[in-house]
Structure 1
Amino acid sequence: MSDQSADASTEQKTSRSILDSILETALHEMNRERSGLLLSGLSAGLDIGFGPLMMAVVLTLSPASFGDLTTELLLASVYSIGFMFVILGRSELFTEHTTLAVIPVLDGQASLRDLGRLWGLVYAGNLVGGLCFTQLVVLLMPGLGVVSPDAFAEIAIKLVSHDLPWLFVGGVFAGWLMGLLAWLITAAQETTSRLILVWVVAGTIGLLHLPHSIAGNVEVLFGLFVSPAVTLTDYLWFLGLATVGNAVGGSVFVALLKYGHVVRGAN
């Protein structure tokens, strides 16, 4: 009995320390200057675009396409590259903060206004960064001969061809996974462990073709710029539903539940 109690106590301390680290990090980000948050969000929006770019390269060079197991696994792996750059580089990503920034509000250390300020600045920076990255890629990369416009269009159509309810539900799952990743990254002690976690979680999002509002912003913009099959309406519906779904997934299925079980367990 005493051994079980000791194990439970050890487990609870670990969970509590993760929560405390998240609170400290989130409060630090909430107190940053607007310009710092915007620039960090801009950097993340630029960096995450390398994942969708590498997907287009794979589709251009591969004899197969979506639906082929080997190609799908390779696409999922390269999709995670942008997330590695952003998360290990400590840039601000909106879908991480759907969990991280909610926890101080639940703990009473921040207000909904603080949450809205952080979300708004990071989200705006992410979108502008993604737009800039997409414009550069569409203008410059096809001339290098490793990416075709058809690959850009194929990636975008894969996302916007779904029904609107699926975009929301898929966005919830993507936000759930990103929130879980934020929690696990905080728990991990080594860079190698964090790298593997990013690869596994982001690769899962890529393999399932779930709508991630920030990486997907780049993916759908690719299609909007190069293909008449992707319209501005398609882009706006995707972005809106994916964003709301991501926020719900990260806030409810990770922030609320993780915070609840740690605090109730501590009591």
Structure 2
Amino acid sequence: MTDDDANRLTPAASAEDLNEGEQRAVDHQSRPSAALIHETIRVEGERELERSGFALMMSGLAAGLSIGFSVVVPAILIVALPEAPWKHLLTSLGYTVGFLIVVLGRQQLFTENTLTPVLPMLRAPSWRRAGLVLRLWLIVLLSNVAATWIFSAVLAHTPVFEPEIKQALAAFSQSTMASPFWTMLLKAVFAGWLIALMVWLMPASGDSKPFVIIIVTYVVAVGHFAHIIAGSVEASYLVQIGEATLRDYVLTFFVPTLLGNMLGGIALVACFNFGQVAPELQGSDRRLPRD
């Protein structure tokens, strides 16, 4: 037998040859399984569903205000950078700032909740869980949107930023209202898909969480995909300065973007990723209570 043959151990033999410390090192280096990621997010979802309405509202308001920086920073960069073909590639980096604050600060953002609280309901469906999910969605969505209107009102009606930055804000926000209904809906599907995927990636990211947030939300910005909360800052700002109507806000932006974000997050991430681990979960000894 050659040296290569001797070193080619079966998995079982290899595991038996490892001492306890080496086995822990292997476990540490191994990627978490899809089932482990699912369970990590599901447990977090269970906790979110049981939070008080006041706590959800305050967290949602904080997220809606924080996401405003995903609109302000790109506008500042638009003013600061010279005109060039690559300008959009750099200004889009500013879009990631608000998401970094929201996600790392553990604030409630509606698009993240198209995955996290849905997994407990898919794992052990019940009318009680369905009611809790709808309650969470309603509180978080309304508080997110209310905060975006507060943020945009400050941008529009106070001298906190110079006129050229306000002009850049208006120019940057125009794309939010520029697409017809079905195009906006498709753009929103991609945004909801990416943000829910970001949440799915977080448990396996370790110390790389900021890079995952930056990369995923940067793709949303570069692709001009439609995000219901960040986009609400832009769309409401246009309403505040008189360049759009409330009807434009609701029909051109809000309805197609909300539907698309939910479709992308729930169908393309929550249901598909649950589907890939469902047989493994059903075959386990775990038994979740059904209400």
Q: Shared fold by TM > 0.5?
A: yes
Q: Does 1:63 align with 2:82?
A: yes
2:239 alignment partner in structure 1? 224
Q: Deviations over 1:9-53 (max 9, x none)?
A: x87962222111111111101101100000000000000101101
Aligned residue type for 1:189: G
1:209 alignment partner in structure 2? 224
Normalising by the residue count of structure 1, what TM-score does the alignment of the two structures yield? Answer: 0.89
Whichever of the two has the greater Rg, that structure is 2
Mapped partners of 1:240, 1:225: distance in 2: 19
Q: Does 1:170 align with 2:184?
A: no
2:263 counterpart SS class: helix
1:213 counterpart SS class: coil
Deviation at 1:188, TM superposition (A): 1.5
Mapped partners of 1:170, 1:179: distance in 2: 14
Instruction: Judge conservation of contact 1:138–1:225 (CA < 8 Å) in 2.
Output: yes
Tell me which of 202, 225, 235 is aligned to 1:185: 202
Deviation at 1:252, TM superposition (A): 0.6
The answer to which of 178-187 and 78-87 deviates more is 178-187
Instruction: Judge conservation of contact 1:60–1:146 (CA < 8 Å) in 2.
Output: no
Deviation at 1:144, TM superposition (A): 4.1
Q: Deviations over 1:201-233 (max 9, x none)?
A: 0000000111100000001112222243x2222
Mapped partners of 1:13, 1:145: distance in 2: 48
Tell me which of 41, 45, 52 is aligned to 2:60: 41
2:147 alignment partner in structure 1? 129
1:50 alignment partner in structure 2? 69
1:211 counterpart SS class: coil
Q: How many residues align?
A: 257
Aligned runs of 1:69-108 on 2, under 5 Å? 69-108=85-124
Tell me which of 94, 113, 129 is aligned to 2:131: 113
RMSD of the TM alignment (CA)? 2.2
Q: Does 1:195 align with 2:210?
A: yes
Give the share of equivalent positions with the same residue, in percent: 29
* Bigger helix share: 1
Instruction: Judge conservation of contact 2:155–2:161 (CA < 8 Å) in 1.
Output: no
Structure 1: 4+ residue segments shifted above 6 A: none
Question: Structure 1: 5+ residue runs without aligned partners?
Answer: none
Mapped partners of 1:2, 1:138: distance in 2: 67
1:21 counterpart SS class: helix
Change (3 A) 1:63 1:109: same
Aligned residue type for 2:256: L
Q: Does 1:253 align with 2:268?
A: yes
2:95 counterpart SS class: helix
Mapped partners of 2:249, 2:173: distance in 1: 9
Aligned residue type for 2:246: L
Change (3 A) 1:124 1:261: same
1:28 alignment partner in structure 2? 47
Tell me which of 235, 247, 250 is aligned to 1:236: 250
Aligned residue type for 1:139: H
2:3 alignment partner in structure 1? none
